């Protein structure tokens, strides 16, 4: 294959999230989050796994950062655990919680790695969970207060601020199909949560900006939605509906001034949207400096009156059939289709021009082993399937750049194996293997491959 070079100053890095790696669930005054509660609810997470210990990154961060530096990472996207900062939600700021991120930030900077902070990666303080979580408008207001507190401590050293990670998941998996915390299955709650998450973004972005933040953005997980049959009008209608619920319900208020009419009408059939108040959309539409894109797999749909729909897309039953993934799949059962990334990036750049993009997550779970039981020998993980996945998606990203998309960087998901939400520890996304018994880290072949990509700034 031909050699590809990325633009100068292209940001190469990796991403993680607090609850997935930190552990130390009770250390230094951390309060409980909805994920602590959810993972303890029987039947919600694979084999009752929790984030109590996870990768113990809270105690091992210095070694982890040293490994990141060894691999040549230029940026590291991590999230701040709100329950460390405000253990009971609204109460006073806990300085010991901030201390950890302070140390982490300094350690990254000492190693020449740029910190990219995500303020919310799903671990809502349980205190808010008790009051309706994101269905309660107050949560959005409090989110801005929390954002201000984190900025006050780290803002002198952190340049890039992301408000939310994948509000689609928080709203639709948390309140629609109940696969994520808090595990509710209530279509009206799901749409209410969508709006309050966006409002929380708007309020936090305004607060960050007022405090002096340079680069403020949000990370979405837009779907590349495709028709099962490109000739079918019914399938095209299904694409339009799912695209509205997955993509335009977020993109339009953030980047085009407000919710699209067709999405509003769909929502109004399920819940009277009284939660959208005058002025909200204006707040949500305040300009952002960077849009984070997480991409894993495409979504194929067909328009069918007998379609079962999906509770993660409220109101799609009796209209949409979600086509089961086929072809090469990752261990998550997700389709491998790098072209979807090119399509998505181009579409966003075309429909919502003017915002620089960054791939804030992309990667794959595959079954791999390290240690004496590894088929590749002691301490080795030869994950050629992951390398192929990453290679394909980097080529797809490069293709988007060559077609004019303003793509600023690529962050692999994930730096290391971690707690994969409802799947617990059984799904491994890391380029670094974690042995959860010993907490030993072993760079996989993909980590060495990525190191090479970064040092050449290309493939």
Single out the residue of 118, 221, 362, 442 in contact with ligand FCB (rule: CB under 6 A): 221
CA 383 to chain centroid, in Å, comes to 23
Range 292-311, binding ligand FCB (CB under 6 A) = 294
Per CB under 6 A, does 410 bind ligand FCB?
Answer: no
- We find the least distance from the C-beta atom of residue 169 to ligand FCB, in angstroms, to be 6
| Distance between CA atoms of residues 122 and 124, nearest Å | 6
Where does this chain touch ligand FCB (CB under 6 A) — which range of 165-173, 210-218, 222-230, 302-310?
165-173
Question: In whole angstroms, how close is the CB of 22 to ligand FCB at the nearest point?
Answer: 13
Q: Is 281 a catalytic residue?
A: no
Which residue in 22, 337, 361, 423 is the catalytic one?
361
* Size, binding site for ligand FCB by CB under 6 A: 12
Pseudo-torsion of CA 43, 49, 51, 54, nearest 10°? -160
d(CA 114, CA 158) in angstroms, rounded, equals 8
Residues 6+ apart with CB under 8 A from 16: 57, 76, 77, 78, 79, 414, 415, 416, 418
- Which of 22, 166, 420, 423 is labelled catalytic? 166
22 binds ligand FCB (CB under 6 A): no
Q: How far is the CB of 337 from ligand FCB (least distance, A)?
A: 16
**Position among 322, 415, 421, 425 found at the interface with ligand FCB (CB under 6 A):** 421
User: Minimum distance between the CB of residue 282 and ligand FCB, rounded to whole angstroms?
Assistant: 28
β-strand partners of 357: 291, 407
Establish whether 361 is a catalytic residue: yes
Residue with smaller CB distance to ligand FCB, 115 or 430: 430
Q: Which is nearer to ligand FCB, 275 or 425 (CB)?
A: 425
- Which residue, 117 or 319, has its beta carbon nearer to ligand FCB? 117
In the complex, least distance from residue 319 CB atom to ligand FCB, rounded to whole angstroms: 25
What number of residues does the chain have? 459
Task: List the one residue from 12, 78, 101, 413 that touches ligand FCB (CB under 6 A).
Answer: 413
169 binds ligand FCB per the rule CB under 6 A: yes
Task: Give the interface with ligand FCB as residue ranges (CB under 6 A).
Answer: 17, 20, 165-166, 169, 221, 294, 361, 413, 420-421, 429
The set of catalytic residues is 166, 361
């Amino acid at each position: 294959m031909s050699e590809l070079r990325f633009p100068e100053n292209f940001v190469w890095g990796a991403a993680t999230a607090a609850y997935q790696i930190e552990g130390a669930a009770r250390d230094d005054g951390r309060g409980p989050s909805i994920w602590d509660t959810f993972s303890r609810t029987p039947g919600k997470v694979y084999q009752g796994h929790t984030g109590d210990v996870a990768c113990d990154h809270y105690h091992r961060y210095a070694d982890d950062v040293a490994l990141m530096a060894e691999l040549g990472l230029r940026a590291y996207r991590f999230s701040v655990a709100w329950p460390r900062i405000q253990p009971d939600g609204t109460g006073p700021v806990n300085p010991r919680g901030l201390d950890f991120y302070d140390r982490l930030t300094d350690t990254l900077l000492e190693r020449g790695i740029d910190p990219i902070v995500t303020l919310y990666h799903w671990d809502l303080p349980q205190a808010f969970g008790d009051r309706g979580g994101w269905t309660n408008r107050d949560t959005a207001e409090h989110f801005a207060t929390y954002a201000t507190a984190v900025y006050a401590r780290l803002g002198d050293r952190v340049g890039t601020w992301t408000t939310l990670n994948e509000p689609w998941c928080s709203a639709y998996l948390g309140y629609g199909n109940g696969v994520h915390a808090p595990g509710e299955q209530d279509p009206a709650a799901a749409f209410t949560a969508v709006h309050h998450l966006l409002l929380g973004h708007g309020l936090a972005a305004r607060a960050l900006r007022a405090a002096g933040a340079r680069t403020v953005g949000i990370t979405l997980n837009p779907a590349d939605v495709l028709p099962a049959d490109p000739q079918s009008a019914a399938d095209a209608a299904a694409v339009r509906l799912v695209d509205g619920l997955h993509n335009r319900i977020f993109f339009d208020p953030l980047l085009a001034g407000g919710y699209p009419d067709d999405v509003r009408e769909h929502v109004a059939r399920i819940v009277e949207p009284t939660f959208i108040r005058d002025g909200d959309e204006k707040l949500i539409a305040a300009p952002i400096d960077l849009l984070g894109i997480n991409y894993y797999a495409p979504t194929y749909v067909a328009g069918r009156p007998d379609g079962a729909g999906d509770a993660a897309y409220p109101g799609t039953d009796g209209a949409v059939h979600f086509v089961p993934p086929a072809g090469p799949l990752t261990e998550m059962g997700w389709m491998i289709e790098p072209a979807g990334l090119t399509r998505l990036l181009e579409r966003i750049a075309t429909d919502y021009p003017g915002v620089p993009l960054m791939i804030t997550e992309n990667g794959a779970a595959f079954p791999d082993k390290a240690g004496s039981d590894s088929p590749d020998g002691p301490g080795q993980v030869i994950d050629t399937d992951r390398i192929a996945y990453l290679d394909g998606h980097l080529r797809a990203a490069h293709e988007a750049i060559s077609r004019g998309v303003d793509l600023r960087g690529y962050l692999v998901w994930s730096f290391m194996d971690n707690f994969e939400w409802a799947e617990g520890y059984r799904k491994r996304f890391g380029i670094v293997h974690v042995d959860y018994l010993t907490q030993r880290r072993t760079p996989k072949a993909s980590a060495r491959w990525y190191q090479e990509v970064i040092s050449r700034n290309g493939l």
